[in-house]
Amino acid sequence: MIELIVYGIVLGSIIALGSVGLTLIWGITDLFNCAHGDQITVGAYIALLFGGLFNRIGFLQGTVGPFSFSWGLLLSFIPSVIISIGLAVAVDRLVYKRMRRAGAHFITAFIASIGVAWALRGFIYIIWGADFHFYSQGLRPVVFLPAGIKLRVDEIFIMIVAWGAVAGVYLFLGRTKTGKALRALADNPNLARVSGINVERMLIWAWGIAGMLAAIAGILYGIETQLRPEMGWIFLLPLFAAVILGGKGSITGALAGGLVMGIAQQVSTLFLVPTYKPAVAFIIMILVLIFRPKGIFGRGKA
Amino acid sequence: MSILRVENVVSGYGSMDVLHGLSLEVEEGKIVTLLGPNGSGKTTVLRTIFGVVTPKKGKVYFKGEDITGTQPEKVARTGMSYVPQEENIFPALTVQENLEMGAFIREDDIKPRIGEVFELFPDLTDRRKSRAGDLSGGMRQMLAIGRALMLNPTVLLLDEPSTGLAPFLVEQIFEKIQTLNKQGVTVFLVEQNAQALRCADRAYILEGGEKKAEGTAQELMNDEEIGKLYLGR
């Protein structure tokens, strides 16, 4: 049981990372971005590409300390994050900004985002094919923690990076003027405009943050499991559930929602066949929508 | 010379017109109130002035300049502030952060202004770290006005600040509005509550998107017919 909770926290950290960007965009533009999952996939594959390139440089080939992955992969976080930020912002400018200008209904944008998701995934299939990929072929060392918990060393890395990134974004959103304006915008977009906050400029920040966190989530998810073209698409369900659980536009809610989803999914394997794990996300989402449609942290407005 | 002028405005949502050629003026340094029943188009007047809704016909002038159809984020930079009727605070942000967001476009030190707002609404001072969404109705309304004051506006647009408040709080809000006016802020107050006449200099009565009466607050208060028809007396 405790072991499953720990695994749940590992998975939950990755979900939390992915859900922050999703809730920011949802809160500000009403767009429930279905391409967010595939943005995660893209981040993971870009790291695969650059990790491979970097590994050709002799001294980057070696594994990082006790972890399974190489220095090359660690270094590939940088290009992956940068390209993902660029991609997220570019997609917004090319697709959603035009739709906002045209006053498109949020359902229209929602469907457009499914299109973007398919396009991104198609791109992955063309370049890397449908096969599984791994960041490393080597062993995945484990460590024994008190209470008989067996954890892969990589998972400690995952948690540190995930919560480090989340803490960084949290500080940015809580302490800086731009960060506060982003929260204000996600909280009450109309009032933000009336206060003189430029929505389009702030959206560049929001998409940038979403892209950055998606890339990090993708690489971490790739380290935890393996890379396949549908990894992000399937991951979208727990992400949606986490965001709905947390409440529209609530960053704290998304983080808490992510953890709950991770733990609930892992603990469910005690009672259910693991194949049904994704269904747990679905059930929680439906229960929240029925009993607390504004989410746990979503107060104030519908 | 009026600082704010609305001329023959036709405005609404989609194909539905709410205002049918409305004209009105707000003189500098005054409190002007726009009274009318629910659904008369009061909120649409403010939205049209602030650029949230673009009028189909007619013009809006502020300080003599044509600002018709200017986006709200730009209108906020002209010296006009707007307090919407509903959803007029950032519930997930703290009281302090709400005020900071009110001053988003200011690059200078805003601490003195925050101090002044807390001076006007002392009850907010102790709650500066609280989530705005946790405040009571009266405090929310004070915060909403406080946020709009952060830019030292020349003109303040208020949409039914008395909504849902207990009578003694309504009194308090109207007193604050008068205090602000004495400090030099021009106020355009949209209300359903006829008490607004008591703090106003001039008033308009709106019904069905059309102007039904106008005059000094005194005149309208003493007019029996208007009292019966529109002010529920």
Per the domain annotation, does B204 fall within a domain?
A: yes
Residue A18: CB atoms within 10 A of its CB come to 32
Percent of chain B with pLDDT over 70: 98
State pLDDT tens for residues A223-270.
998 999 999 999 998 999 999 998 888 888 899 999 999 999 989 888
- Euclidean distance between the first and final Cα of chain B, in Å? 33
B72: nearest CB among A194, A299, A301: A194
B77: nearest CB among A190, A192, A196: A196
**Which single residue is written with the structure tokens 């049981």?**
A1
Name the domain count of chain B: 1
CATH of the domain at B163: 3.40.50.300
How open is the CA angle B185-B86-A191, to the nearest 5 degrees? 70
Average pLDDT over chain A, rounded to an integer: 90
Per the domain annotation, does A236 fall within a domain?
A: no
Interface with chain A: mutation pick from B104, B156, B157, highest number of A CBs within 10 Å: B104
- Alpha-helix runs per DSSP H in B67-166: 72-75, 95-102, 111-120, 122-125, 137-149
Q: Report how far apart, in Å, the C-alpha atoms of A126 and of each of A123, A130, A133, A229, A234 are.
A: 5, 9, 14, 10, 19
Q: Is A191 on the interface with B (CB under 8 A)?
A: yes
Instruction: Flag whether pLDDT at A146 surpasses 70.
Output: yes
For A182, which residue in chain B has the nearest alpha carbon?
A: B101
Contacts of residue B76 in chain A, CB cutoff 8 Å? Answer: 194-196
Per the domain annotation, does B97 fall within a domain?
A: no
Crossing angle of helices A36-55 and A231-246, in 10° steps, is 130
Per the domain annotation, does B84 fall within a domain?
A: yes
The confidence score (pLDDT) of residue A242 equals: 93
State pLDDT tens for residues A182-200.
999 988 999 999 999 999 9
State the maximum Cα–Cα separation within chain A, in Å, rounded to a whole number.
Answer: 58
More confident: A63 or B112 = B112
Instruction: Flag whether pLDDT at A157 surpasses 70.
Output: yes
> What is the value of pTM for the model shown?
0.87
Per the domain annotation, does B140 fall within a domain?
A: no
pLDDT (average), residues A30-47:
95
pLDDT (average), residues B99-110:
95
Per the domain annotation, does B223 fall within a domain?
A: yes
The confidence score (pLDDT) of residue A302 equals: 35
Instruction: Flag whether pLDDT at A165 surpasses 70.
Output: yes
Per the domain annotation, does A195 fall within a domain?
A: yes
Å between A188 CA and nearest CA of chain B: 6
Lowest mean pLDDT among A58-62, A68-72, B153-157: A58-62
pLDDT (average), residues B115-119:
95
State pLDDT tens for residues B20-71.
999 999 999 999 999 998 889 999 999 999 999 999 999 999 999 999 999 9
Per the domain annotation, does A295 fall within a domain?
A: no
Per the domain annotation, does B123 fall within a domain?
A: no
Instruction: Flag whether pLDDT at A114 surpasses 50.
Output: yes
Interface with chain A: mutation pick from B46, B48, B70, B73, highest number of A CBs within 10 Å: B73
Å between A32 CA and nearest CA of chain B: 20
- Alpha-helix runs per DSSP H in chain A: 2-29, 36-55, 71-91, 97-101, 106-128, 153-175, 177-187, 189-194, 199-224, 231-246, 251-268, 277-291
The confidence score (pLDDT) of residue A67 equals: 86
ipTM of the shown complex = 0.92
Per the domain annotation, does A177 fall within a domain?
A: yes
Using the 8-state DSSP alphabet, how is residue B62 labeled? E
Per the domain annotation, does A109 fall within a domain?
A: yes
Name the domain count of chain A: 1
B133: nearest CB among A181, A197, A299: A299
The confidence score (pLDDT) of residue B228 equals: 77
The confidence score (pLDDT) of residue A50 equals: 94
The confidence score (pLDDT) of residue B233 equals: 61
Per the domain annotation, does A292 fall within a domain?
A: no
Per the domain annotation, does B67 fall within a domain?
A: yes
Provide the residue range defining the domain that includes A221: 18-231
Provide the residue range defining the domain that includes B183: 2-88+155-230
Using the 8-state DSSP alphabet, how is residue A103 labeled? T
The token pair that represents B8 in the structure block: 């023959």
Per the domain annotation, does A251 fall within a domain?
A: no
- B39 vs B37: CA distance, rounded Å: 6
More confident: A58 or B179 = B179
Average pLDDT over chain B, rounded to an integer: 93
The secondary structure of B7-23 as a DSSP string is EEEEEEETTEEEEEEEE
The confidence score (pLDDT) of residue B227 equals: 77
Contacts of residue B97 in chain A, CB cutoff 8 Å? Answer: 180, 183-184
Distance of CA A61 to the CA centre of its chain: 28
Å between B210 CA and nearest CA of chain A: 26
Per the domain annotation, does A286 fall within a domain?
A: no
The token pair that represents A252 in the structure block: 């704290």
